[in-house]
Structure 1
Amino acid sequence: MTETVVSSVPAARRTGEPGRLWHTFCDMNTVSRGPEFVVARAEGVWLWDSSGDRYLDGTASLWYCNAGHGRREIADAVHRQMTLLDSYTVYGDFANLPALELSERLAAHAPVADPRVILTCGGGESIDTAAKLARRYWAVTGKPEKTHLISRTGGYHGLHGIGTSISGMERFRAGYGRLLEDTSVVPHDSAAALEAEILRVGPENVAAFFAEPVVGAGGVYLPGPDYFTEVARICDRYGVLFVVDSVICGFARMGNWFGIERFGVTPDMVVFAKGVSSGYVPLGGVVVSGRIADPFWNREGNPFMHGTTYAGHPSACAAAMANLDILEREDLFTVALEVERHLDGALRTLAGHPLVAEVRSGLGVMGAVELTEEALTERGITTADVFAEARSRGVVLRPVPRALLVSPPLIITWEQIDHLVSTLAASLDAVSSR
C-alpha cells in the first residue's frame, strides 16, 4: 500500500548525499551512503515511510509500543500537562502531581514487598540506578565489600556504563577499555551455575544478581519452569539482592504488570521502562522493596546520592498514566495472553523451514526464529539479509546475529500475525533461493 506522506526529509538525504545524523547500532560507513529508511508516521501496528509505503511494525519499535501507535489519548495527556507544568526536577523535596500519582499506581501493582519507586528516563538509567543502589545498600548496612554484580548470558541491560559492564553479550563490551570490573556472567538457563558463581566469588562479595523474566534482545530465551524459584532461593540463601530487569517484559507484554509475576517470586528490585509509556515519552524507573529502602528512608544520614535531570518529568508521567489507562481499560493484559498463544502457533509453523534451526516463543508477546549454523556459516546467509527482504515486503523485524526477533504491539490482530509470519516465511524462501 502506498499513500502520500508530506516529507520533511532534508534535501541532502533525499538525494542520497551524506547526512549529519549518526545512527547507533550500525556501520555508519554503510548507512551514510543512504538514503536512510525514514519513518514518517505510524498508526496502530502500521508504519509509513517518507515515500508513503506501509509496513507492519513487527517489533513495536524497540519492544515498547505496547498500546500501538497514534494513541491520541496519550498525546492529549502530554499536551494538557505541558500547558500546566511542562517540567520540573524531583531532586530534594520537590515533587509534581503526575510523578506522585504514577509512583503510587506502579507501587500498587508491583510484585515486591512494601514498594518505593525511583523514576528515571529509561531502561539504561534504571539499571545503573538499581546497581548503584544495591551497592549503596550493602555499604550503609555495614557490608561495603559486597559490590560484585552477576548477570546472564544473552542478557541485555541497556548500554550505560553499568549496563555495558553486565551485558551478557560480549560484542557490546568489546573495544571500550576498562569499565566496571567486578562483574561476571553465568549461563542464562542454569540456577546451579549462579550458585557456583556466588560461591566462587564469595557470598560476602556479591551485591546483586540481574535477570530478565525472558531474555529479550539477546535472543528470546525462555526460562525453565523452576528456574526463577531456584534463583530466588539461592539469592535469599546467600544474601544476594535479586534484581529483575522487566524493561522489555513489563506492562502487559507477558500478560501482567512486570512479567516476573508469571513465576511466583518476589524480587528485591524491579527495573522498568519502555511499555510504561508505550514509548511515547522516554520514562523508566526502579521499584524498590521496603527492606532495601529502609536504611535510606528510616535512618538519618544516608542520602542516595544519585539521580537524573529529567527523572519524574511531569509530562512523561502524564503520558504513562494515560498509557496505563489504555492497558487497563482495554484489558491488554488478557489480550496479550491470547496474542501470545496465536503468535506462538504461527511462528512454530516456521520450525520446518530449511534455514530455521529453532523457534523460541510461547511466553509473552515475543519470539525468535534462529537460523541454522549451515545457513550462517557455510552458506553465508545473515539475519540482515532476511530482515532486508522482509522490509522490502512490508514487514519490519529485528535482526540479531543468529535470529530474527518479533515483538509486535499488543493490539495486533490474528490476521496481522499471520501476515507477519507468512512474510517472514516468504523472505526466508527468497534469501534461500539466492
Structure 2
Amino acid sequence: MNTVAKGPEFVVARAEGVWLWDRSGDRYLDGTASLWYCNVGHGRNEIADAVHRQMNTLDAYTVYGDFANEPALELSERLAAHAPIEDPRTILTSGGGESIDTAAKLARSYWAALGQPERQHLISRTGGYHGLNGFGTSIIGMDRFRSGYGRLIEDTSVVPHDSAAALEAEILRVGPHRVAAYFAEPVIGAGGVFLPPEGYFTEVARICQKYGVLFVVDSVICGFARLGNWFGIERFGVSPDMIVFAKGVSSGYLPLGGVMVNGRVADPFWNQEGHPFLHGTTYAGHPTACAAALANLDILEREDLFTVSREVERHLDSALQGLAGHPLVAEVRSGVGVMGAVELTEEALTERGITTAEVFQEARTRGVVVRPVPKALLVSPPLTITWEQIDHLVSTLAGALDAVMARH
C-alpha cells in the first residue's frame, strides 16, 4: 500500500496471448502468467464463449448438501480421471488458499473420525507457499508472511525443503501419533523455485506411509501442464493422499480451486454415518467457473500443452542458464517445469544495496514483467510462449541486470 501511495499504479488495460498493455498503450511480455496461472495465455475466446453460454443457462447455484450442477459434476469426473491417487473424490473451492484450508481441516477431521483426535500436527517445508488463509498462513514456510498477526493456528512446524531425513526426524520429535499431515509443493514456486533433490518425493512418500502421516501435495502452481502433466506430482512417480489445485485449472479466467482426495481419506465421511465434514464455501462448484475450467482443459488437451510445456521448459532452462555467469547472479534454478528463478548474489544485495524490486522495475520499463521476491527474480510465462519470446524475456532481464549494475 505504501508503494502505491508514493507513485502511480501500473494499470493493466488488456491482454492477449503472452502480452499485456497498460492504459497508455505500452506493451509488456507477461513473464509470470499473471500470478503463475494463465497457462493457456490471455484472451482465449473459447473460454469467454463457454462462460457466456453457461451464464445464459445457469449462472450460479450452491452445491451444499445434495445439490449439484452439470459443469461441477463434469469437471470433477474429468479431474478424477487424471488424478494420480486411488479412488479419487473432488472437493471444489474458489482458489488455492481455500483449498489448503479445506485439506488441512479434512486431515485433522479424518483422524478424529478414526478415533485419533490427537493427530493434529501439520508439517510443511521452508520456502513452501500455501496461500494466506488461516491454515495457509500458519504452515507457510516463509517467516515474513507469518509475522504481525499474533498467535496463528497451533501444532504446526516447518522442516528444510531439501531433506527427507529432516521430515522423518520431525515426525519422531513430535510423535507419529500426533502428526496429521505433511504438505509439499512438487516444485517450490513463490518461495523461490526450488527443485526437489533426486529421489526426494519417493523417500517422503515412504516416510509418510511408514508413520501413517497423510501426504498432501500442493499443486496450485505446478498443475495443469506447468510440469508437463496434470498435477505436477506425477513427474516424481508417487501417489499422495490429497492434491490441492487451483490457478491453471481455469488459467485464471474465473476463480476456481479444489482438493482431490483418495478413497481412504474419503471413506469415513463418504461411507460411514456420523462423520459429516462441516465445511464449505459459498462459490464452491460455481457452474460458470467450472464451465471456464472445462473450456480451459479442452485447450490444454487439444493443443497438447502437456507435451509442448516440456519443450518450453527445456528452452526456458537453456536461456535462463545463460544468466548464471552475470556478475549480479548467484544461482539460476530451472529445468523442472516452465518456471525459473534468478537469484542475486549476497554481495549485490548487501554491499551494493541492489534490490530485486529495482531489477523488476527496470525490466518492466523495458517491456517485460517478472516477479521479485527478496533474493530472486521469478519467471513462469504462459505455456504458449514461443522460443523468440523466451529469448526476448531473458535478454530483457539481462539488460535490466546490466542497467542496475551500472547504477551501483
1:35-50 equivalence runs, <5 A: 35-50=8-23
Once residues 310 and 265 of structure 1 are traced to their aligned partners in structure 2, the CA distance between those partners, rounded to angstroms, is: 31
Once residues 296 and 20 of structure 2 are traced to their aligned partners in structure 1, the CA distance between those partners, rounded to angstroms, is: 20
Q: CA deviation at 1:181?
A: 1.5
| Paired position in structure 2 for 1:143 | 116
Q: CA deviation at 1:225?
A: 1.4
| Paired position in structure 1 for 2:240 | 267
| Paired position in structure 1 for 2:177 | 204
| Paired position in structure 2 for 1:81 | 54
TM-score normalized with structure 1 length: 0.94
SS of 2:91's equivalent in the other structure is strand
Task: Establish whether residue 172 from structure 1 lines up as the match of residue 145 from structure 2.
Answer: yes
5+ unaligned residues in a row in structure 1: which ranges? 1-27
| Paired position in structure 2 for 1:17 | none
| Paired position in structure 2 for 1:406 | 379
Instruction: Tell me how large the CA RMSD over aligned residues is.
Output: 0.4
SS of 2:360's equivalent in the other structure is helix
Q: CA deviation at 1:296?
A: 0.6
| Paired position in structure 1 for 2:295 | 322
Once residues 32 and 251 of structure 1 are traced to their aligned partners in structure 2, the CA distance between those partners, rounded to angstroms, is: 37
| Paired position in structure 2 for 1:194 | 167
Once residues 2 and 95 of structure 2 are traced to their aligned partners in structure 1, the CA distance between those partners, rounded to angstroms, is: 29
Q: Deviations over 1:382-417 (max 9, x none)?
A: 000000000000000000000000000000000000
Once residues 210 and 35 of structure 1 are traced to their aligned partners in structure 2, the CA distance between those partners, rounded to angstroms, is: 39
Q: Deviations over 1:163-217 (max 9, x none)?
A: 0000000000000000111100000000000000000000000000000000000
SS of 1:208's equivalent in the other structure is strand
Identity of aligned residues (%): 85
How many residue pairs match? The answer is: 407
| Paired position in structure 2 for 1:6 | none
Once residues 213 and 30 of structure 1 are traced to their aligned partners in structure 2, the CA distance between those partners, rounded to angstroms, is: 33
SS of 1:350's equivalent in the other structure is coil
SS of 1:37's equivalent in the other structure is coil
Amino acid at match of 1:50: R
Once residues 270 and 370 of structure 2 are traced to their aligned partners in structure 1, the CA distance between those partners, rounded to angstroms, is: 45
SS of 1:41's equivalent in the other structure is strand
Once residues 217 and 404 of structure 1 are traced to their aligned partners in structure 2, the CA distance between those partners, rounded to angstroms, is: 10
Q: CA deviation at 1:33?
A: 2.9
1:389-404 equivalence runs, <5 A: 389-404=362-377
Task: Establish whether residue 358 from structure 1 lines up as the match of residue 358 from structure 2.
Answer: no
Q: Deviations over 1:338-382 (max 9, x none)?
A: 000000000000000000000000000000000000000000000
SS of 2:119's equivalent in the other structure is coil
Task: Establish whether residue 372 from structure 1 lines up as the match of residue 354 from structure 2.
Answer: no
Once residues 174 and 182 of structure 2 are traced to their aligned partners in structure 1, the CA distance between those partners, rounded to angstroms, is: 13
Of residues 350, 353, 356, the one that matches 1:383 is 356
Once residues 181 and 136 of structure 1 are traced to their aligned partners in structure 2, the CA distance between those partners, rounded to angstroms, is: 16
Runs of 4+ in 1 over 3 A off after TM superposition: none
Once residues 170 and 237 of structure 2 are traced to their aligned partners in structure 1, the CA distance between those partners, rounded to angstroms, is: 24
Of residues 81, 88, 93, the one that matches 1:115 is 88
TM-score normalized with structure 2 length: 0.99
1:205-354 equivalence runs, <5 A: 205-354=178-327
